[in-house]
């Protein structure tokens, strides 16, 4: 019985940590999605669902508007994104795009990620955690 409780606790902790990770990345991923095209909130939710469900489809809860729209309002209020009203399927919807400040912020995130993936320690961590040989692939790309 103790082993069952232990496994249950580990599973709960694992889910909580993964939820924390995905919540932490959500803002950056939203900016990345918006950088690709002018898109409305529902479109962003669908892209987030696609993004996160590919990570762990059995554990992923669909994105809902009560999570996304407050983030979009905050990003718009701080001048990172701008919303413009348009029409989609005979409905009035707000399309989002990055502002100049948003582009600078996203470029900064890209720079940070570049430093991370070029760090031997981070590469080792990612390889160990994903059973992926990223370093080998990266070295093979350099040779070609």
pLDDT tens, residue by residue, 85-140: 999 899 999 999 999 999 999 999 999 988 888 889 988 888 888 876 654 555 45
Angle at CA of residue 109, ends 38 and 46, nearest 5°: 40
pLDDT digits 0-9 by tens, 31-52: 999 999 999 999 999 999 888 7
Helix (H, G, I), strand (E, B) or coil at 99: coil
């Amino acid at each position: 019985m103790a082993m069952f409780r232990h496994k249950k606790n580990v599973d709960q902790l694992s889910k909580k940590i993964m939820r924390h990770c995905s919540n932490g990345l959500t803002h950056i991923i939203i900016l990345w999605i918006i950088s690709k095209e002018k898109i409305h909130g529902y479109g962003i939710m669908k892209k987030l669902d696609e993004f996160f469900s590919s990570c762990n489809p059995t554990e992923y809860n669909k994105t809902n508007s009560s999570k996304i729209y407050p983030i979009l309002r905050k990003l718009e209020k701080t001048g990172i994104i701008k919303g413009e009203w348009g029409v989609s399927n005979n409905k009035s919807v707000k399309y989002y795009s990055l502002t100049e400040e948003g582009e600078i912020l996203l470029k900064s995130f890209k720079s940070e990620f570049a430093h991370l993936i070029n760090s031997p320690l981070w590469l080792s961590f990612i390889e160990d955690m994903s059973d992926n040989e990223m370093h080998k692939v990266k070295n093979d790309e350099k040779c070609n």
